[in-house]
Amino acid sequence: MPVKQKKESSNILSIDIGGTSIKACILSPKGDLLSEFKKIPTPKNAKPEAVIKVISELVALLDLEFGRVSIGFPGYVKCGIVYTAPNLAKDKWRQVDLARQVSDLLGCPVRLINDADQQALGIVSGKGFEIVLTVGTGFGTALVFDGELLPHFELAHFPVSKTKDYDDYIGTKALERIGKKDWNERLEQVIQTYKTVFNYDTLYIGGGNSKHITFELAPNIKPVTNKDGIKGGAKLWEVAEKYHVYTTHPSKTPDNE
């Protein structure tokens, strides 16, 4: 693989792992987009080794150097370890040290968090209680107060009935099964629940299926795109000491310079 990273580069390789596609681009330290988005379809029943292979292929498509990596992952992540990935390969992502594996692959430090959390870092205003919802293959959430990420809750797996959670209720499979009209009604119900439970100041809605929203959004609800949240990959490197850095060269990491 023609790896182009150099550890002295301050650029950031930002990766977004989704249930439909895996995307990557190069960012400046301030979050400016330096390259085009490159994306490759997510392999069916994507196991860790398949995702690593796609990341390798994406890096080969990018022409700019980078010295750090940010990864948004669709599941529960803690200290660089993946614990769940319900929309990838079921039961194949338990305690997978993905940050370490990508660091070993690329030879530079990696920070790995939930994909909605990473997007939130690039989107929110930093004022008050803000929530980011992503409606795509599954259902993602991020909670932010005055610009600081709150502990991640996998609210996608909160039950809405005896047999369904939010992933089942509002994810892509539900959209395909019940159609756009009923899906929009469900999403309105979800938003009303969040308004009642969290009393947020601002709600952001992103994800691939947000383009199917047909109802009018309240003034404090804002639609966003993946590009709106791209700065999150850079912002993650400004959050000192909050996320563990995994690297094959610990003496070279920005935190130790």
- How far apart are the C-alpha atoms of 110 and 104, rounded to whole Å? 10
**In this structure, what token pair is assigned to residue 24?**
């990557």
Q: What's domain 124-223's architecture?
A: 2-Layer Sandwich (3.30)
pLDDT of residue 98: 95
Q: Could you tell me if 65 and 10 are in contact, meaning their C-beta atoms sit under 8 angstroms apart? A: no
Residue 250 confidence (pLDDT): 47
Q: Kindly report, residue by residue over 81-140, the tens digit of the pLDDT.
A: 999 998 898 889 999 999 999 999 999 999 999 999 999 999 999 999 999 999 998 999
Residue-averaged pLDDT of the chain: 89
Lowest mean pLDDT among 173-177, 192-196, 238-242: 238-242
Which phi and psi (to 5°) does residue 112 adopt? -130, 125
* pLDDT greater at residue 8 or residue 222: 222
pLDDT: is 245 or 107 the higher one? 107
* Count of C-beta atoms within a 10 Å radius of residue 159: 11
pLDDT at 202: 98
Per CATH, 12-117+230-256 and 124-223 having the same topology is answered yes
Any idea what the Cα angle at residue 43 is, between residues 115 and 25, rounded to 5°? 45
pLDDT at residue 227 in the model: 81
Please give the Cα distance from 154 to 63 (Å, whole number): 36
Q: For strand 139-145 and strand 129-135, is the pairing parallel, antiparallel, or unpaired?
A: antiparallel
141-162 pLDDT, tens per residue?
999 999 999 988 889 888 988 8
Q: Are 46 and 89 in contact (CB under 8 A)?
A: yes
Domain chopping of the chain, boundaries = 12-117+230-256, 124-223
Encoding tokens for residue 239?
């959050």
* Closest to 102 in 3D by CA, of 13, 21, 30, 41: 13
- CATH tag for 12-117+230-256 (out of 3.30.420.40, 3.60.20.10, 1.10.1660.10, 3.50.50.60): 3.30.420.40
**DSSP string covering 154-208:** -GGGSBSSSS-BHHHHHSHHHHHHH-HHHHHHHHHHHHHHHHHHH--SEEEEESG
